[in-house]
């Protein structure tokens, strides 16, 4: 409500100020008109510096340099030239050291020149508490397994008047979900500040934006998103290592079993190629011993082939000195 009343007062005084400037400073009709028709002004707090920027609506006008003048509405003073913005080729001016009060209205005149010829003059009235826009501070992010360090960069010294009851807001975005963090900063906004966004999910992509929020809920200017993919957690690494170890163990067991089977087969312990004789198989099946099986097979062989008995006897020739003898038993 207070801001609305202040804005109405400032706008109502615009016309009065134009008349006042014309009467006090003796601006003639032959001189360029001091209007705000041909210029667009913007005052912003950039890295806690009051920066006034401007742009010409008529792009066919190309000045070689500019000069910025101002006076304070509440003080009957002459127009003052801003030293660092006299005959400047830049389209902006740092007014931090000039405009120190946020509760004053500043009457500003911008003159554009081409050589010594004045091409245009624009005027505008600023009340910092209403017209100031707040640009986001610079920041960096570093991602860890389950948290992100956000390092916000503020100037080492910030004027108390330029703090504007601002609060720092850090936005965290992931998979369409947006979370706002409003860290409590003790003292004023000066020096570097680090904030930790914790309880995050490993191996997930997160984006962070930083901006300054005014207590009167003015429109905010958010910084571009900075994103980082968090590394996988230790649990994931352990699970992966366990999986690889299991595969190697199974492979080694299979290799040992295969080698054992091949060795046993090679020495003939398993998978014999030659089957046992029929008599041996039958005897073993009946529970006979190997000796009994041998005797039975020998007797059966002699009864079936008597000639084998004769052929198995050995005799020596008579020419030998040995007595003729037969190894065969006598009948």
CATH 2.60.40.10 is right for the domain spanning 136-229 = yes
pLDDT digits over 141-161, tens only? 999 999 999 999 988 777 766
pLDDT tens for each residue of 176-206: 999 999 998 776 677 889 999 999 999 999 9
**Percentage of the chain lying above the pLDDT 90 cut:** 43
pLDDT digits (tens, 9 = 90+) for 277-295: 665 566 556 655 555 655 6
Contact 197, 174 (CB under 8 A): no
Whether pLDDT at 299 is above 80: no
Is 136-229 the same fold as 2-131?
A: yes
- Tell me the CATH class for 2-131: mainly beta
Residue 228: exposure state from Cβ atoms within 10 A (0-12, 13-18, ≥19): middle
Model confidence over 15-68: pLDDT tens digits?
Answer: 444 444 444 444 333 444 445 568 999 999 998 899 999 999 998 999 999 999
Among left, alpha and beta (phi > 0; psi -120 to 50; other), residue 176 is left
Model confidence, pTM:
0.58
Q: Are strands 166-174 and 138-143 parallel, antiparallel or unpaired?
A: unpaired
Average predicted confidence (pLDDT) for the chain = 77
Domain ranges of the chain: 2-131, 136-229
């Amino acid at each position: 409500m207070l801001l609305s009343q202040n804005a109405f007062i400032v706008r109502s005084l615009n016309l009065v100020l134009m008349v006042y400037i014309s009467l006090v400073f003796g601006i003639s009709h032959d001189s360029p008109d001091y209007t705000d028709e041909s210029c667009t002004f913007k005052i912003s707090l950039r890295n806690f510096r009051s920066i006034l920027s401007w742009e010409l609506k008529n792009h066919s006008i190309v000045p070689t340099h500019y000069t910025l003048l101002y006076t304070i509405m509440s003080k009957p003073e002459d127009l003052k030239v801003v030293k660092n913005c006299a005959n400047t080729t830049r389209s902006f001016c740092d007014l931090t050291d000039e405009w120190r009060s946020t509760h004053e209205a500043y009457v500003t005149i911008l003159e554009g020149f081409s050589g010594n010829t004045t091409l245009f003059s624009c005027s505008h009235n600023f009340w910092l508490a209403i017209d100031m826009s707040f640009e986001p501070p610079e920041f960096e992010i570093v991602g860890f397994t389950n948290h992100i360090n956000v390092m916000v960069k503020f100037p080492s010294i910030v004027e108390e008047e330029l703090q504007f009851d601002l609060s720092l807001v850090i936005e965290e975005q992931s998979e369409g979900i947006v979370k706002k963090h409003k860290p409590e900063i003790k003292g004023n906004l000066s020096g570097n500040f680090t904030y930790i966004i914790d309880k995050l999910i490993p191996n997930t992509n997160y984006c962070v934006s930083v901006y300054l929020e005014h207590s009167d809920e003015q429109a905010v200017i958010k910084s571009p998103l900075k994103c980082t993919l968090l590394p996988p957690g230790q649990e994931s690494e352990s699970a992966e290592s366990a999986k690889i170890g299991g595969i190697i163990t199974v492979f080694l067991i299979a290799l040992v079993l295969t080698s054992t089977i091949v060795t046993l087969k090679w020495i003939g312990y398993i998978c014999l190629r030659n089957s046992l004789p029929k008599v041996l198989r039958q005897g073993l099946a009946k529970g006979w011993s190997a000796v009994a099986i041998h005797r039975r097979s020998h007797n059966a062989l002699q009864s079936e082939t008597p000639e084998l008995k004769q052929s198995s006897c050995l005799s020596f020739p008579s020419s030998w000195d040995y007595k003729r003898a037969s190894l065969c038993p006598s009948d």
